Amino acid sequence: MSLTFHHLIPKKMHRRSYFSKRYGREELNRGINICRFCHDAVHRAFDEMTLAKEFNSLEHLLSSPKIQRHIEWASKQRVG
Within-domain flag for 79: no
Within-domain flag for 45: yes
DSSP for 4-15? EEEESS-HHHHT
pLDDT tens track for 45-68: 999 999 999 999 999 999 999 999
Task: Name the pTM for this structure.
Answer: 0.86
Q: Of 61, 64, 70, 45, give the one whose Cα is nearest residue 7.
A: 61
Structural domain count of the chain = 1
HSE-CB at 35 with a 13 A cutoff on CA atoms is 9
SS3 helix, strand, coil % of the chain, rounded to 5? Answer: 60, 10, 30
Q: Domain of 26?
A: 3-74
Taking each helix axis as running N to C, give the angle between helix 36-45 and helix 65-74, from 0 to 180 degrees, rounded to the nearest 10: 150
pLDDT tens track for 2-61: 899 999 999 999 999 999 999 999 999 999 999 999 999 999 999 999 999 999 999 999
Within-domain flag for 80: no
